[in-house]
Structure 1
Amino acid sequence: MTFDGQLFSGITVLAAVAESRSFTRAADALGLSPSGVSKAMKRLEQRMGVRLIERTTRSLKLTDDGQRLYDEVGTHLVGIEDAAARASGSKDSVRGRLRVNVDPFFSRIALAPSLAGFLNRYPDLSLELIMRDDVGDLVADGFDLAIRFGQPPVGSFVGRRLDETRVLTVASPGYIEAHGRPEHPYDVDRHQRILFYNAGAARAFEWQFCRADEVLEVRPAGHLLVSDVGTMLGACVAGAGIAQVLELGAEDLLRSGQLIELFPDWPDERFPLYALYPSRQHLPAKVRTFIDFCVANLVARRQ
């Protein structure tokens, strides 16, 4: 059998460009320079005798011929990648670069204290934890997976629920002493409130109170809006207002009495945590291992 290495190399570059929609991101994924990617595409187009990519100063997209070629070879490339991984043992070895789009709050409270031990266990792994406001396009942005709170957005990826944490309505003893304690969830509308910014919706998160099948909604109005959990917790402890916080990360403040849960009889509002990754049949060992690491840290926090 004759093997045309140059043709295979060009198609590999085409696949990277098609998935990332960027010469620069394709170059990063392949370990090439952007000019190297551009030259490889020109050689492939000359070899095929057709134009495969339309590129302007603002956008890049495949031509009809380019899209057809990519659609036909894409599944074969995945099969080759899986076969090579099995042959090299990387399906069972934690190695290489792992790039994670991670919620900054979760990373800070649940991962940071254990990262040194994790990296010591896997010295061949290079871990990149990138904090973003939203999931975005995992493949185009070069991420292996994302760890995010909230229901998964619509997209071409698999979501695995790792945990769910209660949403608590809290205030400091000082705030309660100065302004009184609301007796019912609807009473918070007459209090100073600290709201949290929902970047995906470009507005404050809604306030809900849940008890069994009963759900109450209170309009998200307040005199302070923040987008950082640490700032929200600190302002609440200082008496700036009532806040809705995740139980995950607020446990110490509740145990020490710096924050008081206002409505323990409304205990059923939950916020999920998901691992999101591209839809592939077999997860690399490095992805599986990192997800297990996240779950282990969540379990340890409850003990």
Structure 2
Amino acid sequence: MNNFSDIVAYVRVVEAHSFVAAAQTLGMSPSAISKAVSRLEERLGARLLNRTTRSLSLTDVGASFYERCREALGQLDHAESEVSESRGIPRGRLRVDVPVSLGRRIIVPALPRFIAQYPEISVHMSMNDRVTDLVQEGIDAALRVGNLSDSSLVARRIAQLRGVTCASPEFIERYGMPKEPGDLPPEHCLQMFKVGNNQTREWTFRKGDVEHKILPAARLAFSDPESAVAAAVSGAGFVRSLDFTVEAQIASGLLQPVLEDWNDGAYWPVSVVYPQHRQPTAKIRAFIDFVSGLFPQTEASASVRANGPRAPNNTSRPELRARLAAQPIP
């Protein structure tokens, strides 16, 4: 097949929804990607993409052809991985998806060490705070924060991170220090919402057997923790985020933690997930082992189904390195 590279270019354009993004992924120029897709359409005698200056959309034929090509490329990747497995060497292209803050603060800075350790692996990383369809988008593995519900995924829990509620000293002085969760007016609690469905994330407080939930209702809402923390520093209200996203602000006195004795319910797992129909190839196992070393280890580190039961983890969490930040708390 002498147009294999054109097919790869087409698949990457569809996945990235952009000629420019596909070009960056493949290390080519956008014009070269456009010419590759045009050659493929000419060879097939059919239009695969509807192009405008602002958007791309698949034709019916293009959608069907993309599914066949994506499946074929996946089979080729799998065949390559099987050969690598027989040699015991992690190699090939590894496509991973991570939350933006977690990727920016922890994973990306560590990637040079990863590719130095595994010289036959190339990493293609996407970063976003929406829940991606790993199978549909051809992702080998992803990092997720929070409890998982997708039964089509296998997960390995690699960390357990702690949340903290805080506000600026000026805000606390103005409205008072809360002694219990009921003292927190919802309108003073900054909203964090899930990308995709805009659902506001509920806050759960727990002390022993007593649990209290708050649905934030402030007039400011954010999809990422760093923006919410910045708003809290400016005196916008109370914020709840993973402790490492506010560590520097608390240390400098810009934020003050509250209700620390109600934090029994403020722990969230970090997991590496991958489709259950895929065997954890050498490159996926290498990635899991590597990112596990970037976090404190937990007892619940064995691979389990994402919606399966989990044993409680009562061990104390060791301090994670100072620059860690993670995706918005579920």
- Considering the TM-score relative to the shorter chain, is it more than 0.5? yes
Q: How many residues align?
A: 286
SS in 2 for 1:138: coil
Aligned ranges 1:1-303 → 2 under 5 Å: 85-89=81-85, 92-154=88-150, 156-189=152-185, 192-257=188-253, 258-280=255-277, 282-299=279-296, 302=319
2:190–2:216 CA contact under 8 A, matched in 1: no
2:187–2:219 CA contact under 8 A, matched in 1: no
Which whole-Å deviations, capped at 9, do the CAs of 1:227-276 have from their partners, x for residues lacking one?
Answer: 12111112222322101111243333334444323333443322222211
Give the TM-score normalised by the residue count of structure 2. Answer: 0.65
Percent identity for Structure 1 against Structure 2: 30
The structural deviation recorded for 1:188 is 1.0
Q: Distance in 1 between matches of 2:131 and 2:108?
A: 20
The structural deviation recorded for 1:225 is 0.7
2:97–2:139 CA contact under 8 A, matched in 1: yes
The structural deviation recorded for 1:80 is 9.2
2:80–2:92 CA contact under 8 A, matched in 1: no
Give the TM-score normalised by the residue count of structure 1. Answer: 0.70
The structural deviation recorded for 1:133 is 3.0
Amino acid at match of 2:198: A
1:135–1:146 CA contact under 8 A, matched in 2: no
Are residues 242 and 216 of structure 1, via their aligned partners in 2, closer, same or farther at CA, if it must alter by over 3 Å? same
Q: Distance in 2 between matches of 1:298 and 1:249?
A: 15
The structural deviation recorded for 1:56 is 11
Q: Distance in 2 between matches of 1:153 and 1:36?
A: 39
1:163–1:272 CA contact under 8 A, matched in 2: yes
Are residues 85 and 106 of structure 1, via their aligned partners in 2, closer, same or farther at CA, if it must alter by over 3 Å? closer
Gaps of 5+ in 1: 44-54, 63-69
1:237–1:259 CA contact under 8 A, matched in 2: no
2:193–2:223 CA contact under 8 A, matched in 1: yes
Higher radius of gyration, 1 or 2? 1
Q: Distance in 2 between matches of 1:128 and 1:88?
A: 19
1:91–1:284 CA contact under 8 A, matched in 2: no
Q: Distance in 1 between matches of 2:152 and 2:191?
A: 31
Gaps of 5+ in 2: 20-24, 27-32, 44-48, 52-56, 62-67, 298-317, 321-330
Which whole-Å deviations, capped at 9, do the CAs of 1:137-171 have from their partners, x for residues lacking one?
Answer: 21221211111212224352212222222222111
Amino acid at match of 1:289: A
Q: Distance in 2 between matches of 1:109 and 1:186?
A: 34
Amino acid at match of 1:182: P
Q: Distance in 2 between matches of 1:270 and 1:246?
A: 9
SS in 1 for 2:211: strand
2:84–2:90 CA contact under 8 A, matched in 1: no
